[in-house]
Each structure stands twice: as structure tokens, then as C-alpha cells.
Structure 1
Amino acid sequence: MMQNKYPQKPGIDFILKQAFFYWNKTLVFQLVFSIFYFGIFLTVLFFFDSRYNILSQYAEAAKYAKDGVEVYSAQLAKIMKSNDGFEKFSWALIGTTIFLYPLNLGFYQIYRKIDLKEKLELGDLLAGYNGLNFFKFIGYYIFWFFVFAYTFQTIILGIIWVFVTLFVAPLMFFTDKRIFEAISLNLKALRMYFLEILVCSIVAVFFKYIGFALFFIGGLFTFPFWNAMIYSLYKTAFSEKR
């Protein structure tokens, strides 16, 4: 149910402090997440690149970016047409991204255990892979990804899709809601907390990647920060009957 216990909504500063609290308490888990995530992703990336030599062709096409989008797109089209491994390469990366998605769900369990003052275990990171969770969240992310891939061609629609589905995963994880029921609740939360969600999301995206920009290794700690922000916003927008 929507949060209605407080006469005044928690401020943006409170939501941000709460998110950074969860992140700071779980730095070891952030590092393990990133090593596991990038380890698997890059292994698949370089394995398929060694077979189809896609990355060097991408680099060659990138030289034409300065000549405009049309010229660059034409070069990419040539790659796709001349290299029959391009499609296999693309699907391999998409499949890997989908497989790795449930890893994010582990943080929701970890943050909840922090709230309940329960002992954290490294195995908590794999909560999204336990039993039916794996099929439920893999199915959800396949649906989410292909809608995003289609809408992101216009940029703005892709961003809207991200906001429309911001709380779907935690709602499914904590309250066992179905996808479209969770989207409906997400829309209600957006109407009530739009400014808070917008500002906190911008901060989360900035912080998520700043570690890579300033010092590459730091990105291994900041990359999963998005999950802490979503959980902090989720706690603000929703209360659960326990």
C-alpha cells in the first residue's frame, strides 16, 4: 500500500542519506557484485569477439562519428551486413545481461536484512536466483529489456519506461505483485513522489558512473549504487503489511 503514515513526506535529503547509508554498509557486497558481473560479462564479450572480431570493426566505424549520425549508422550497417557473427555477438551480450539481472535483487534482500538487524551473508547476493525467483525475474527483465530497447530509440520514451518500472522489481520481490499490477502501483508512486524520484535518480546515475570516470577501480564500488537508491525510494513510497 502507498505510504500514508506521515503527515509530511520524507525530504530528498533523507532519501539520499538513507541510500548512502545502505551503500556504505555493504561495500564488500558492492565489490563482489561488480567483480562477478563484469567478470562474466567481459568473459562472454571477449570470447565472442575473438571469434567474430566485432570490437575492432566498431572502433573503425567510430572514426566516422565525427561525420554525423547518418554516416556513422551507414558504417555500422556495413559491419552487420559483412560480418555474419554480428547477430550472434549481439544476442550473446543480451543473453548475458538478462542472465545477470537477478544479481541486483540480492541487494534488496541485503538492505531488508539490515533494516531487520539480521546477519548478512555473501549468499544473499544470489537471492534473485533462488528457486522460482530466477524464472520470475528473468522473465520480467526479458519483457523490460525489449520494451526499453524499442523505446530507447527515441531516448525520452526509454527514460520514461525506466521511471514507469522503477519499483516493479522490489514490488515483485517483497510483495509478490504481478508485473502490470506493480507498474500500476509504480505510476501512483510517481504521481505522489515525482520530484523526489527525479532528483534521486539523477544523483544515483551520476554517482553510479563517477567511480569509473574519476578512478576506474572505484567504479566497482559505485556501479551497484542504483539499487540502494531504488530501495530507499521504495521504502519512502510504499509500506508493506507484515
Structure 2
Amino acid sequence: MKNNFTQRINQATEKGYYLDFGTTIEKAFDNYKKIALTGGLAFLLIMLAAFALFGSIAMVAFGAADIMGTMTEFNPMDFSVVGILIYFLVMVAFAGLTAPIGAGFFKMAHLAQTNKPFSVGVIFDYYKTSYFKELFILASVLATINFAFTIGAELLAFPILGSFITYVVAFFSMLAVPLIIYGEQKAIDSLVISIKLVSKQWLILLGLAIVSIIFVCLGLIGLCIGILFTFPFWYSFLYTTYNTILPIEVASEIEEIGRVEE
């Protein structure tokens, strides 16, 4: 099974693959309709937890009176060298520790696609599997790359460049997580393969990503609460794209439950 998957990866990265724009969006939307409510509630839970955590830290660090002004004017470049280093380590650790949540949304999309039951708790399933290590490493590497370019752009007084590079990194690494949880790939290998796969059809994937982002942003209309329930579409799009390029086999579905490390 492993050798067969390796052959499929090699074929896709070397010879390319077919990806139809309309069909991909249609399948992604069909999948999204199945996870919209549960995924939205899961995203709401994450946002509340993040707000409570960072709000508490900010209140302790800056005081309740100055918290709003500090958050709106926050800039890591105002820190000392030691402060920037601490900020970097915290951000990398945070990215690594929250990486399994993103993988959990992929699992939710897959369970919905295969008509299996799922709940909000699915997003936490990968914390107790052997994939946690590779997901942590991948997220930490990506956070390090983004941080380096962001700081570099700030030093060059050209912050827009840093933001642009961050988006480029996110775009070319979009298939890395499913390559870990469905393809049994190591963190660095998944990143390299993702770059190769995206490069083969970068134009159509860019169009699909833009359409997906526009749909997600539609949730900002009104009181902005809707984005909680449009956000899961992003994972439906990523899952559908991956499953089209490298169809998930039955064995991979079983492995997806996760192997608890001994």
C-alpha cells in the first residue's frame, strides 16, 4: 500500500494530474453542506478558547486599562532582541500545538464525505495519534519560515512583502497536512511534495483558493458571525482538492483514525 501511494505521488508530481475547476467547487460545496453546522460550532469553540487565553495573557502583561490600545498598536518590532526571540518561540510553539486542530477539520470533512458520524470533538482527535509529531514539526517549520520573512520585511521597511510571502508559503503548503494524515508522509517530505503538486496546477489551484476565500469572507456580511459557519468551507475545498489529486483509499481511511504511539 505504501509503495502504491509512493508511485501515485511520483506520477502526480512528475506527469501532473487533472483538476476540473467547476467539479472541484461543486464537490467541495457538497461536502461543506455536511460539516457547516458542526464545523462552525467547532470554530466558535476554538475562537472563544483563544480569546480567553490571549485576553488573559494580555491583561496580565499590559493591564486591563491598556489592553485595547496595546492590541491595536501591537508590533513585535517594538520589542528588544530578547523580546522578539521570546515572541518567536511562543508563536512557533503555539503553531505546533494547535496544528492537530486543522488536521481534525480534514478528518471531519472525510467522515462527512464517507457518510460516517462525527461531532465537534473530532477536531481534537489527532492530539492522541502518532501524527501529532509530524503535524507539530510541519506547523513549526512553516511558522519559522513566515516569521523570518515577516521580520526581514519589517527590517527592510516593506511589510507588504512579508505578508505576500506568507500567503505564498500557505498556498504552496496547502496539501501538506493531508499528505501527513492520509499519505503517511514525514513533515518535511509532505511540504516538499505539496510544493511539487501545487506547482503542477498552480493557476487553477490559485483560482479555486480565491473563490474559496471569497465564499468564506461572505460570512463577514452583517454582524460578521456568519464567518464562523463559512470558514469550514476552506477545509472542504482543501480536502476535496487532495482527494481528487490523490484519492484516499480504504486502507488510508482506516489509518486516518490514527495510531496511538507506543
TM-score by length of 1: 0.77
Distance in 2 between residues matched to 1:176 and 1:191, nearest whole Å: 21
Q: Does 1:23 align with 2:32?
A: yes
Per the alignment, residue 43 of structure 1 pairs with: 52
Deviation at 1:132, TM superposition (A): 2.3
The one-letter code matched in structure 2 to 1:177 is Q
Q: Does 1:190 align with 2:198?
A: yes
Q: Is the 8 A contact 1:48 1:89 kept in 2?
A: no
Distance 1:40 1:13, change over 3 A: same
Distance 1:191 1:56, change over 3 A: closer
Distance in 1 between residues matched to 2:89 and 2:166, nearest whole Å: 20
Q: Does 1:11 align with 2:20?
A: yes
Distance 1:185 1:86, change over 3 A: closer
Q: Write the mapping of 1:104-183 to structure 2, written as runs, cut at 5 A.
A: 104-152=102-150, 153=153, 154=161, 155-183=163-191
What SS class does the counterpart of residue 182 from structure 2 fall into? helix
Total equivalences in the alignment: 223
The superposition leaves residues 142-190 of structure 1 with CA deviations (integer Å, 9 ceiling, x where unpaired) of 1111112223443333222112211110000001111232233223322
Which stretch of the first structure deviates more once superposed, 182-191 or 17-26? 182-191
The superposition leaves residues 96-144 of structure 1 with CA deviations (integer Å, 9 ceiling, x where unpaired) of 4543331111122222223333222443222221232333312221111
Which stretch of the first structure deviates more once superposed, 91-100 or 175-184? 91-100
Distance 1:195 1:236, change over 3 A: farther
Per the alignment, residue 56 of structure 1 pairs with: 69
Distance in 2 between residues matched to 1:195 and 1:111, nearest whole Å: 24
Distance 1:218 1:176, change over 3 A: same
Q: Is the 8 A contact 1:33 1:224 kept in 2?
A: no
Distance in 1 between residues matched to 2:183 and 2:56, nearest whole Å: 39
Deviation at 1:195, TM superposition (A): 2.1
Deviation at 1:47, TM superposition (A): 0.4
Q: Does 1:210 align with 2:208?
A: no
Distance in 1 between residues matched to 2:83 and 2:189, nearest whole Å: 39
Distance 1:77 1:91, change over 3 A: same
The one-letter code matched in structure 2 to 1:19 is A
Distance in 2 between residues matched to 1:229 and 1:124, nearest whole Å: 18
Distance in 2 between residues matched to 1:102 and 1:36, nearest whole Å: 15
Q: Is the 8 A contact 2:39 2:120 kept in 1?
A: no
Distance in 2 between residues matched to 1:19 and 1:148, nearest whole Å: 28
The superposition leaves residues 73-97 of structure 1 with CA deviations (integer Å, 9 ceiling, x where unpaired) of 7xx755x36xx98987786566445
Identity of aligned residues (%): 15
What SS class does the counterpart of residue 217 from structure 1 fall into? coil
Distance in 1 between residues matched to 2:20 and 2:215, nearest whole Å: 19
Which stretch of the first structure deviates more once superposed, 11-20 or 143-152? 143-152
